[in-house]
Amino acid sequence: MSKILHLLRNLKLGSLLGMIILVVIWSTPTLGLLITSLRPSSLADISPWWEALFNPLSTLWTLDAYQNSLSSGMLDSLINTIAVTIPATILPLMIAANAAYAFTFLNFKGKEFFFAVLVALMVIPLQSSLIPVLRGMVWFQKAVGIPLTGTYASAWVVHSAFAMPLAIYILRNYMMTLPRELIEAAKVDGASNYQIFWQLVLPVSVPALASFAIFQFLWVWNDYLIAFIFVGEQKAVMTYRLLRLLGQYGQGWRDVAAGSFISLIIPLIVFFALQRYFVRGLLAGSVKG
């Protein structure tokens, strides 16, 4: 309690009020979604959700919407989403970390040019490249005989490729804040670039890695377009399942509210597990460029 009072004394009243207002604004839609998912259809269709908020004891609460969401295949879609998201988060991290190390600590011809091209690639919208990428995968499948479309691997490739420029940019900026004397000392002691990367640079780059991992995980988890085009309906992810829950005439909107909260569980776990690294990674990577 004393720590909270000390924090409140140090905060200015205007800043405190501003934070409270922002929290209320951002939390109101989520609160309304939660209340809607817990109300029966007979009440949710005829009265706004805030009536239940102000009269919780006189309101009938039910878990029917959650039961409907789970019985409609939401758990299978959860497994499919995990199968797409985890590799699509790890793959660009591992490749981008190696590339960022090269752009930071190695000298090779055209390094600045290649990095400038890489940064420029971040402005290309993903949607404009989907058709060429899809045609390339179809051609590869015909030429080699290895199926890509309709599999998890196709989504891994596309998500990883489009995440690579931002990942390299964030990690390279973070690695530039590391003392070069430490790297030079390791080289003098006979350490190879492989040893320096895995035993020295990578462990101290955890804040930057965690920052990008949160971004990439949430992006892939909430993605609908790439999963629908490259994975398909047979291995439907949660975003596609939520659309199906809505129904043709929007009659399943309460089931969508319940399914949305089911889909929030794992992203919240990931965010709170890595949040201590989040701000450190972003701020440290913005000191030098």
Q: Where are the beta strands (DSSP E) in the chain?
A: none
* Structure token digits, residue 61: 């609460």
- Overall residue count recorded for the chain in this entry: 289
Reported as a single tens digit per residue, the pLDDT across 74-117 is 888 889 999 999 999 999 999 999 999 999 888 888 888 998 88
CATH superfamily of 63-284: MetI-like (1.10.3720.10)
Domain boundaries, given as residue ranges, for the chain: 1-62, 63-284
Question: Among 216, 3, 255, which Cα is nearest to 95's?
Answer: 216
Structural contact between residues 238 and 81, judged by C-beta atoms closer than 8 angstroms? yes
Task: Tell me the residue type at 69.
Answer: S
CA–CA distance, 111 with 118 (Å, rounded to integer): 11
> What pLDDT is stored for residue 287 in this prediction?
46
Tell me which residue has tokens 């430490």.
182
CA distance 216 to 115: 21
Number of helices (H) and strands (E), helices first, in the chain? 16, 0
pLDDT digits over 140-197, tens only?
Answer: 888 887 877 888 888 999 999 899 998 999 899 888 888 888 888 888 888 888 888 8
State which of 15-19, 80-84, 186-190, 283-287 shows the largest mean pLDDT.
Answer: 80-84
Q: Could you tell me if 245 and 255 are in contact, meaning their C-beta atoms sit under 8 angstroms apart?
A: yes
Residue 150 token pair:
């309709």
Residue type, 71: S
Is 200 within 8 Å of 131 (Cβ atoms)?
no
